[in-house]
Amino acid sequence: MYPGKGPSLDGRKHGVVKRNCTRRWWFWLIFFVIANVAIVVGIVCGVIPIVAQNSVTNAIVRADGIAITNPSDDRITLAMNATVFAHAPVKARFANQTFEMYLPDDKNQTTFMTLDVGELEANPTMAINVTGADTNILNKEIYQTFSKQVLSKGNFSLVIRSKPILKVGSLQYRVNFEKTVQLKGFNGLRGITITNPTILNGSAVMEDGTNLLTDGVIPNPSSFTMQIGDLTADISIDTLKLGFSVIKNLTLYPGDNAVKIYNHINPELMGLPMFSAILDQPNVNITLAINSTILNGQHISWLETPLREASPFYAIMNPGSAPAVGSAMAGGLS
């Protein structure tokens, strides 16, 4: 023992304990803060992204209307109304995003078309309304396959994908969005009807050679609006070739589309009583073989080729009942 040094030793001891205590206090504070930060970070970086991703993954997308207008060989104008149903657990917004579209049968998942979508508030029901977006056709071959499905199928599907940034307060998360959307097609334009055949004879024949006018109704059971342009089809009844028909500046809207049909009937048929008799009969089954679609003087191959390939289409003239055949002389057309 070294008396005299004891107290100083005790004092040092005390000091060490005190310092230890202080260190521990800092240690626990830092531990506590880190633990809390870890939990918050865990929630922010681990839980919220998973919740956010899950709500995006479980979302349901319904396409209410798609309009394809101003078609050219490499560009279209696209409009879309869609509704997204999602469970949004927190208040959040999707930043601007670009929808990429590909066909589910395409193993390469090649994007053939994109659509820019503006900011969206995350809600249980989100309306997406895009109007008049000029869109490049990124892959013509696939776009034509898509167009063929629209024009000929009853049902088909399309995959939409994007990687939107989800903003939760000031936090931002990138989520993966990929949805197969079921769409209704034109179903082979089934159910076309033709009425009011009106013979234009003598000098009533139009300058372009139209010698028979008819009214037509083309049903479109899909939610697509498609601008087709001038449509030309060869027409026949069984093996009897009648000539060809033209529908000018055709746009098919959802529902029934009333059109005026300009028919160029082979002149040798025109004078025959047999032909007038046909125009008088009920439920005449007319075969339509679509030849061309022209808009602004240009053939639109992704419309023309599928329509040709899907031909023949059928139309029923005078459905249900036999009408009185109208006729118009020069000046008799009003």
Strand partners, 227: 251
CA 304 – CA 312 distance, rounded (Å): 13
Give the interface segment with ligand NAG, choosing from 34-42, 61-69, 163-171, 210-218 (CB under 6 A): 61-69
Nearest distance, CB of residue 74 and ligand NAG, angstroms: 19
201 counts as binding ligand NAG under rule CB under 6 A: yes
Residue from 123, 249, 281, 298 that binds ligand NAG (CB under 6 A)? 249
225, 209 contact by CB (below 8 A):
no
Nearest distance, CB of residue 31 and ligand NAG, angstroms: 40
Residue from 11, 42, 118, 332 that binds ligand NAG (CB under 6 A)? 118
Q: Supply 136's token pair.
A: 């490049």
Residue from 29, 30, 41, 127 that binds ligand NAG (CB under 6 A)? 127
Residue from 102, 244, 262, 313 that binds ligand NAG (CB under 6 A)? 244
The angle formed by the CA atoms of residues 292, 290 and 249, to the nearest 5 degrees, is 55
Q: Which residues contact 184 (CB under 8 A, 6 or more apart)?
A: 154, 155, 221, 222, 223, 224
Binding mask 16-55 for ligand NAG (x = CB under 6 A): ----------------------------------------
283, 320 contact by CB (below 8 A):
yes
Residue from 44, 51, 59, 79 that binds ligand NAG (CB under 6 A)? 79
How many CB atoms are located within 10 Å of the residue 242 CB? Answer: 19
121 counts as binding ligand NAG under rule CB under 6 A: no
Helical axes 140-152 vs 301-310, angle rounded to 10°: 40
111 counts as binding ligand NAG under rule CB under 6 A: no
Q: How far is CA 90 from CA 35, 55, 161, 171, in A?
A: 24, 10, 23, 12
**20/180 with CB nearer ligand NAG:** 180
Residues that bind ligand NAG (CB under 6 A): 64-67, 79-83, 95-96, 107-108, 118, 127, 129, 154-155, 187, 199, 201-202, 225, 232, 234, 244, 249, 251, 276, 285, 291, 314, 316, 327
